[in-house]
Amino acid sequence: MDKARAPRGCYLGAVDLPFDPFERFAALYEQARAAIPVDPNAMVVATVGPDGQPSARVVLLKDFDARGFVFYTNLESRKGQDLLSHPQTALVLHWAPLERQVRIEGRAERVSDAEADAYFRSRPRGSQVGAWASAQSRPLPSREQLEARVEELTRHYEGRDVPRPPHWSGFRVVPHRIEFWHARLSRLHERLVYTREGATGPWRTAMLNP
């Protein structure tokens, strides 16, 4: 049985269609931040491995602008290795209190070293040490081994800045497709998709059947 949903205002009116998708995303993101107290920037990142096996996990969106959507990771992790060898990827942000979802498809590119350095400096010190201590996605013989590594590195960097590991950086997903989904009564959901050719082409809009 369909869940009854109170209308929240149709965003697919003709007046809305010319808006830039990043402006639309920014407005929704501010609503999500106000409505969701924990991790409104949580998003699914889907990748494909060398064997064609897809993989998905939740990460945190750390920045976005007209260039794309940015998250950070260990480059030697499964998702890091997947993206370095097969940069086509997809993102999903689902904001249940808003009954909204955004789906993004595009190509992942490494952020600059300056961007990665700046974000790494903004992280809590424990997270900085953890980036050195964890061989992300690789087998861990015991939790004690990881904790001992953290203690060792904490002593090593005591009294000085923790540098960014060379294997730790970020990806910017440069989109060629962004879909905005809005839940509606009787599952007659509203779907508006923006598409473009390449990374700098003009955006085109279309409504999709639910």
User: Could you list the pLDDT tens digit for every one of the 210 residues in the chain?
Assistant: 333 343 344 444 434 454 799 999 999 999 999 999 999 999 999 999 999 999 999 999 999 999 999 999 999 999 999 999 999 999 999 999 999 999 999 999 999 999 999 999 999 999 999 999 998 888 989 999 999 999 999 999 999 999 999 999 999 999 999 999 999 998 889 999 999 987 778 999 999 999
| Cα angle: 124, vertex 130, 134; to 5 degrees | 160
Residue 81: its pLDDT value, please? Answer: 97
Answer yes or no: is 188 within a domain: yes
Question: Which residue reads 């998702």 in tokens?
Answer: 79
Answer yes or no: is 13 within a domain: no
Answer yes or no: is 130 within a domain: no
What CATH number does the domain containing 115 carry?
A: 2.30.110.10
39: left (phi over 0), alpha (psi -120 to 50) or beta: left
Residue 14: its pLDDT value, please? Answer: 39
Residue 6: its pLDDT value, please? Answer: 36
Catalytic residue ranges: 187
Residue among 40, 15, 20, 44 at smallest CA distance from 30: 40
Residue 9: its pLDDT value, please? Answer: 45
Total domains present in the chain: 1
Residue 199: its pLDDT value, please? Answer: 75
Residue 12: its pLDDT value, please? Answer: 46
Answer yes or no: is 88 within a domain: yes
First to last CA, the chain: 16
Q: What is the 3-state secondary structure (H, E, C) of 139-179?
A: CCCCHHHHHHHHHHHHHHCCCCCCCCCCCEEEEEEEEEEEE
